Amino acid sequence: MGRPVTLCTGQWADLKLTDLAKMAAGWGYDGLELACWGDHFDPMKGATDKKYCDGQRAKLKKCGLNVWAISNHLAGQMVLDLNDERSDGWAPPECSGKPEAKREWAIECMKNSARAAKNLGIGVVCGFTGSPIWHLIYDFPAIPRKTIDDAFAKLAKVWNPILDVFGQCGVKFALEVHPTEIAFDLYSAKRAVEVLDGRPEFGFNFDPSHLQWQGVHPAKFIDEFPDRIYHMHVKDAAVTLDGKSGILSSHLAFGDGRRGWDFRSPGHGDVDFEAIIRSLNRANYQGPLSVEWEDSGMDREHGAAEALEFVKSIDFKPSVIKFDAQFEKK
């Protein structure tokens, strides 16, 4: 049996968990990666109410599904983000328009995510950290190096107390390396690990799609951090540069055919999933392969069902024998 295949529920939060669980079970998924929005999972409640966690798990079990991870990307983003009006809907109404109030709520929410994960009986919380310097991605006007250094120091100052709670709960935080995060590619991820003193609570939710369009070979990321791949999102991306489009996508919405890149349902983009599976095998990753379905050009139910079959087809175990050992004389 291969690794469990799960469906990330973040893009399905308009559906009740009970309804989505029935759909996912019908397609053949092994479990769900519960997003902390919609009615799928409430980390604030789950942190203090184990019966609530047991109830959410029971909804999945009724459909023959399991859970290995929860995702709290939205709260995580607000921990280091500038917190403008774009995130007003992610925090309680009383925090709306108040960047620091949103930050304080988000910090507590992320701590509670670890407590809730423990009560749910799982060991991984996927999410974001946010970034105070993403808007400085292009070095003009020239950015003082101290500004960047200070931002990574802030990552350590703000996230270490959160990660302390993760450590107390025996739970890992899996950052999804992603544009708008302080760690958005291989080298920025390496710096994040370094400023956090390599603490084991901090690792990665490996999502190849975000690396692919940036020109980073996803498998090399796994090879760089083999002991910090705590979870994986199966998501694809296609670079569609045609001489008119740009890699920064021209402020065009996802799904617009003029973009220079876009997300694709697994197997419909440029990601080399065979290389990824081989790297995961070398890293001895045994966690879920979680489909995060984001393809504006495809019906999502068709995509989710097809993605499951694709993931099953690409997942293979490493060899337990050396083929050339058969040539040796006995």
Q: Which domain holds residue 218?
A: 5-235+271-327
Contact at 8 Å (CB) between 6 and 30? yes
The b/e string for 270-287 (b: 16+ C-beta within 10 A; e otherwise) is ebebebbbbbbbebebeb
Q: Is residue 45 part of a domain?
A: yes
Total H helices, total E strands in the chain: 11, 10
Q: Is residue 248 part of a domain?
A: no
> 94-97 — which CB contacts under 8 Å span 24+ positions?
none
pLDDT in tens, 195-249: 999 999 999 999 999 999 999 999 999 999 999 999 999 999 999 999 999 999 9
Cα 292 from Cα 26, distance rounded (Å): 18
Q: Is residue 111 part of a domain?
A: yes
Q: Is residue 73 part of a domain?
A: yes
pLDDT the model gives residue 322: 77
Q: What is the CATH number of the domain that holds 216?
A: 3.20.20.150
Spatial neighbors of 150 by CB under 8 A, at least 6 apart, are none
Q: Is residue 264 part of a domain?
A: no
Query: Mean of the pLDDT values across residues 21-50?
Result: 98
Confidence tier at 319 by pLDDT (50, 70, 90): confident
pLDDT in tens, 46-85: 999 999 999 999 999 999 999 999 999 999 999 999 999 9
Contact at 8 Å (CB) between 107 and 154? no
Q: Is residue 311 part of a domain?
A: yes
Among residues 11, 2, 1, 127, the alpha carbon closest in space to that of 69 is found at 127
Q: Is residue 263 part of a domain?
A: no
Question: Rounded to two decimals, what is the model's pTM?
Answer: 0.96
The b/e string for 228-251 (b: 16+ C-beta within 10 A; e otherwise) is bbbbbbbbbbbbbeeeebeeebee
Structural domains counted in the chain: 1
Q: Is residue 284 part of a domain?
A: yes
What's the mean pLDDT when you consider all of the chain? 97
Whether residue 330 is predicted with pLDDT greater than 80 in this model: the reply is: no
Instruction: Report CA 285 to chain centroid distance, whole Å.
Output: 15
Whether residue 321 is predicted with pLDDT greater than 80 in this model: the reply is: no
